[in-house]
Amino acid sequence: MIDGKRSVYINVAKSGKASTYDVVQNLKKVIPNIQKNLPDDVKISYEFDQSVYVINAVKSLIVEGVLGALLTGLMVILFLRDMRAAIIVILTIPISIISGVLFLKLFGQTINIMSLSGLALAIGILVDESTVTIENIHQHFAMGKTKARAIWDACMEIAFPKLLILLCILAVFAPALVMTGIPGSLFMPLALSIGFSMITSYLMSQTFVPIMANWMMKNNHVAGEVHKETAFDRFKVRYSNLLERLMASKKIIVSISLVLILALVAVMYQFTGKDVLPNVNSSQFQVRITAPEGTRIEKTEEKVKAVLHQLGTLIGKDKIAISSAYVGLHPSSFAVSPIYLYNAGPHEALLQVALKDFKGNSDLLKDEIRAHLKKTMPELKLSFEPIELTEKILSQGANTAIEIRISGMMKKMNAMSANKLMAKLKELDYLRDVKIPQSMNYPALEINIDRNRAAQLGLDAQDISKSLVASTASSRYTSKNMWVGGMMGIAYDVQVQMPQNILNSQDELANIPLSKNADRPVLGDVATITPVKTLGESYNLGTMGYTTVTANVHQTDLGRAKKDVQAAIDSLGELPKGVNIQVAGMAPVLDDTMNSLASGLLIAIVVIFLMLTANFQSFKVSLTILTTVPFVVFGSLVLLKLTGSTINMQSYMGIIMAVGVSIANAVLLISNAETLRLENKNAMLSAITATGLRIRPIIMTTLAMTAGMLPMAIGFGEGGDQVSPLGRAIIGGLVASTFSVLIILPLVFAWVLGKTKVQSPSLDPEDENSVHFNN
């Protein structure tokens, strides 16, 4: 039914690598041609369209990207007070993004939510390279150098540190090469889009930015002129004085802060909710309606129309854009796999509803619908299911978040255990739609043949069963009949079946004749007919039968629900012999996802550590830089908790990204401090001096990245809920890492490298700084 009227509904599914948008657009083009070949009284209309969600999500992410670029430019103007410098930084963004898109095309990627999230995310990260270059040029201007010399020296000074920063950020994407399953499939386009844009951004910061700086920027500093003190200069002096005072207690401060932050990370991780995907606030919903078992299809249709009327009363008829309902079973001649749309029997219906201008919370709306229909139509059972394309794919076929399978060779024993478990689950107040979806008590008529009586009348069981085929089922599966007719000579499959509305009672069944061309004997002469309850459908894994208990989760994370469900299973005690319980649905996907992402974060940290060690030729320097990682994770978890987000696939990717970006800031500081230490042989003085030199670019890039990702973190527009945890995790991680880089990291550097020799452990005998020089 479409909007309560009987219709023929055709489901069109795209192939795996096809573009949703292209499929929809091409389908719309051919509909007029299909209409021409149909009778005049048959009209084709285009109804549910998943491309609307995809296109709206793309538009939202593009808007986020533009807003991010503007906010980034604003941060550069705020710090450098140089409009020309801000224009140069902003100009690098579209060029890098376009280059990233071209490389995505070469690698066979598509424009999707994940690749667009990567590009929107890259806008904040891209400014790092250009902003550091522009800020360093300003520092060299302040030294009284000529424009060309200042630009050249500034670019040469930070060329290698920036390359190291680029490699650190790219190292974050190493897990994408080893991740499998859903995380791997989603992380790869994100990693590629950011990686390609970052490489282009680095090349431009060393070519495009200095050339544009030479053309556009003005050197307002005159050699020998006294530099006018600014508010930031005064802040930098106070900050350096604070750092000097903290150096006296550096060991105590570092030890306490690291122990405390590690403990807080462990606590926050335990108390932050965990999900596979962020909760999406959609303007569409899909609900499975189950009437009492045995309800005839026409009665179910009436109940669905009543449900639509109640929805119109609750939501408002003008708020419902369209409704689509499929009632009853697929006909046996239907050629499409029921995997796309299935019902347990004529008593079930699947209803899809799209709302106009929906601004509320979809979870609360679903709860209102449940409460309203329970009051007005208590005989119905509801179960909400995923409707958005991404939800359906990523749920891996699970219609509900919670699914428990009770398996065993004895189906009645499975059903008993399932009912006990269902009673336990109903005690959890946040679970919704708790039910056994399998049709367990379907009304049936059991026919017991009296073989002695049948033999006396010259009949056997085979004769009786053949006589009942046309009345109770169909000849389609028992005797194949073909009829060739029409001008085209087409062969038709002929099946014999009595219309269901003619066979209305048990007495009519008993009066079915069993012999050809004779009114007697009838079924009632040789058999007894008894009303019974039986399985309406059978669930099997191979030869093993099973029964499922399903439930939805309302405004609670899947991680908590998984623990409580396991506790409910354990509370059943020892199960009957031969009965097994297995948690299915999204719970195993959650475990696989969390394990894969945790491995990804660990691999990223190890790769970065090895790369830093190879560059600095020192394990101590590498470990010093990595002390920022716990602070990043803590900052991400705090902001996720404050904004009501969970640890999910998107937020975990955000944490991995935040680790890479924060390490980039740490490298910018430590590389300068290590260079100074090798010259003055004083780790504490080097740390204070390097922090004073790098505080402005670090704060600038952090604020610019935060501003660039703020639109994504807010998550407005269609699809915004899916990517907002990604932005929130990065912003939280960046803010915390900035504190650790500017306060804790110099103290760690001064402590760890305070007594370290300045000679390099390099094996190169021609390296003047090597212990093996001239050996």
Contact 181, 610 (CB under 8 A): no
Task: Look at residue 399 in the predicted model and tell me its pLDDT.
Answer: 82
**pLDDT band at residue 61 using 50, 70 and 90 as cut-offs:** low
**pLDDT band at residue 280 using 50, 70 and 90 as cut-offs:** confident
3-state class of 661 per DSSP?
helix
Task: Look at residue 733 in the predicted model and tell me its pLDDT.
Answer: 92
- The residues pairing with 527 across neighbouring beta strands, listed in sequence order, are 449
Share of the chain above pLDDT 90, in %: 18
| Cα-based distances in Å from 298 to 10, 291, 349, 624 | 21, 12, 11, 73
Contact 480, 558 (CB under 8 A): no
| Cα-based distances in Å from 2 to 296, 299, 334, 345, 377 | 20, 17, 19, 20, 21
Token pair recorded at residue 635: 């900052």
Contact 93, 72 (CB under 8 A): yes
What secondary structure letter does DSSP report for 647?
A: B
Report the alpha-carbon distance of residue 601 to residue 174 in Å, rounded.
Answer: 9
**pLDDT band at residue 64 using 50, 70 and 90 as cut-offs:** low
Host H or E run for residue 549:
strand 544-553
Residues 6+ apart with CB under 8 A from 330: 336, 338, 341, 342, 343
pLDDT above 90 for 289 = yes
Report the alpha-carbon distance of residue 413 to residue 419 in Å, rounded.
Answer: 10
pLDDT above 90 for 267 = yes
What is the average pLDDT across 152-160? 86
Task: Look at residue 378 in the predicted model and tell me its pLDDT.
Answer: 92
**pLDDT band at residue 709 using 50, 70 and 90 as cut-offs:** confident
Task: Look at residue 712 in the predicted model and tell me its pLDDT.
Answer: 78
3-state class of 771 per DSSP?
coil
Least confident interval from 9-23, 80-94, 450-464: 9-23
Least confident interval from 273-282, 296-305, 575-584: 273-282
- Three-state SS string over 566-634 comes to HHHHHCCCCCCCCCEEEEEECHHHHHHHHHHHHHHHHHHHHHHHHHHHHHHCCHHHHHHHHCCHHHHHH
> Within a 10 A sphere around the Cβ of 582, how many other Cβ atoms?
15
- Dump pLDDT digits (tens) for 359-369: 778 888 999 99
Task: Look at residue 394 in the predicted model and tell me its pLDDT.
Answer: 64
- Dump pLDDT digits (tens) for 333-346: 555 555 556 788 88
pLDDT above 70 for 352 = yes
- Dump pLDDT digits (tens) for 635-689: 999 999 998 888 888 888 888 888 888 888 888 888 888 888 888 888 888 888 8
pLDDT above 70 for 300 = yes
Task: Look at residue 30 in the predicted model and tell me its pLDDT.
Answer: 87
**CA angle, residues 657, 663, 667, in degrees to nearest 5:** 150
Token pair recorded at residue 461: 């069981």
Contact 630, 643 (CB under 8 A): no
- Dump pLDDT digits (tens) for 41-52: 888 877 766 666
pLDDT above 70 for 221 = no
What is the average pLDDT across 592-599? 82
| Cα-based distances in Å from 12 to 27, 354, 572 | 9, 18, 44
User: In terms of residues, how long is the chain?
Assistant: 775
Host H or E run for residue 523:
helix 523-526
Token pair recorded at residue 451: 């073989």
Supply the Cα-derived Rg of the chain in whole angstroms: 35
758 compared with 460, residue with greater pLDDT: 460
pLDDT above 90 for 255 = yes
What is the average pLDDT across 743-753? 90
Report the alpha-carbon distance of residue 714 to residue 195 in Å, rounded.
Answer: 24
Task: Look at residue 339 in the predicted model and tell me its pLDDT.
Answer: 56
Task: Look at residue 338 in the predicted model and tell me its pLDDT.
Answer: 56
What secondary structure letter does DSSP report for 227?
A: P
Residue 431 has phi, psi (to 5 degrees) of -85, 140
pLDDT above 70 for 771 = no
Report the alpha-carbon distance of residue 69 to residue 89 in Å, rounded.
Answer: 9
- Dump pLDDT digits (tens) for 476-500: 666 667 777 666 677 777 777 777 7
Task: Look at residue 37 in the predicted model and tell me its pLDDT.
Answer: 85
What is the average pLDDT across 58-64? 69
584 compared with 434, residue with greater pLDDT: 434
Token pair recorded at residue 347: 């008593």
pLDDT above 90 for 179 = no
Report the alpha-carbon distance of residue 6 to residue 544 in Å, rounded.
Answer: 39
532 compared with 166, residue with greater pLDDT: 532
What is the average pLDDT across 560-573? 91
**pLDDT band at residue 106 using 50, 70 and 90 as cut-offs:** confident
Token pair recorded at residue 169: 């950020």
The DSSP string of 682-727 is -HHHHHHHHHHHHHHHHHHHHHHHHHHHHHHHHT-STTHHHHHHHH
**pLDDT band at residue 287 using 50, 70 and 90 as cut-offs:** very high
pLDDT above 60 for 227 = no
Return the closest-CA partner of residue 189 out of 173, 171, 167, 178. 173
Return the closest-CA partner of residue 661 out of 602, 733, 744. 733
pLDDT above 60 for 223 = no
End-to-end CA distance of the chain: 88
Residues 6+ apart with CB under 8 A from 36: none
pLDDT above 80 for 1 = no
Contact 718, 57 (CB under 8 A): yes
pLDDT above 90 for 630 = yes
Token pair recorded at residue 644: 């009501």
- Three-state SS string over 68-137 comes to HHHHHHHHHHHHHCCHHHHHHHHHHHHHHHHHHHHHHHHCCCCCCHHHHHHHHHHHHHHHHHHHHHHHHH
**pLDDT band at residue 761 using 50, 70 and 90 as cut-offs:** low
Token pair recorded at residue 717: 């527009």
What secondary structure letter does DSSP report for 536?
A: S
Report the alpha-carbon distance of residue 683 to residue 674 in Å, rounded.
Answer: 8
What is the average pLDDT across 321-329? 85
Return the closest-CA partner of residue 421 out of 396, 402, 439. 402
**pLDDT band at residue 564 using 50, 70 and 90 as cut-offs:** very high
- What mean pLDDT value characterizes the chain? 82
Host H or E run for residue 546:
strand 544-553
3-state class of 462 per DSSP?
helix
Contact 420, 329 (CB under 8 A): no
Task: Look at residue 228 in the predicted model and tell me its pLDDT.
Answer: 63
What secondary structure letter does DSSP report for 475?
A: G
> Within a 10 A sphere around the Cβ of 231, how many other Cβ atoms?
7
Token pair recorded at residue 39: 């009778």
Return the closest-CA partner of residue 426 out of 411, 416, 436. 436
Task: Look at residue 545 in the predicted model and tell me its pLDDT.
Answer: 87
Which amino acid is present at 641?
A: K
**pLDDT band at residue 192 using 50, 70 and 90 as cut-offs:** confident
Token pair recorded at residue 184: 């791997």
Contact 725, 650 (CB under 8 A): yes
What is the average pLDDT across 178-207? 80
- The residues pairing with 405 across neighbouring beta strands, listed in sequence order, are 548, 582
What is the average pLDDT across 200-205? 85
Return the closest-CA partner of residue 527 out of 448, 637, 618, 473. 448
108 compared with 449, residue with greater pLDDT: 449
Return the closest-CA partner of residue 536 out of 436, 442, 418, 443. 442
Q: Given CA atoms 632, 633, 637, 638 in this order, what sign does their dihedral have?
A: negative
**pLDDT band at residue 720 using 50, 70 and 90 as cut-offs:** low
Report the alpha-carbon distance of residue 683 to residue 756 in Å, rounded.
Answer: 9
The residue whose two tokens read 């039910």 is: 435
Task: Look at residue 369 in the predicted model and tell me its pLDDT.
Answer: 92
Residues 6+ apart with CB under 8 A from 219: 141, 146, 147, 150
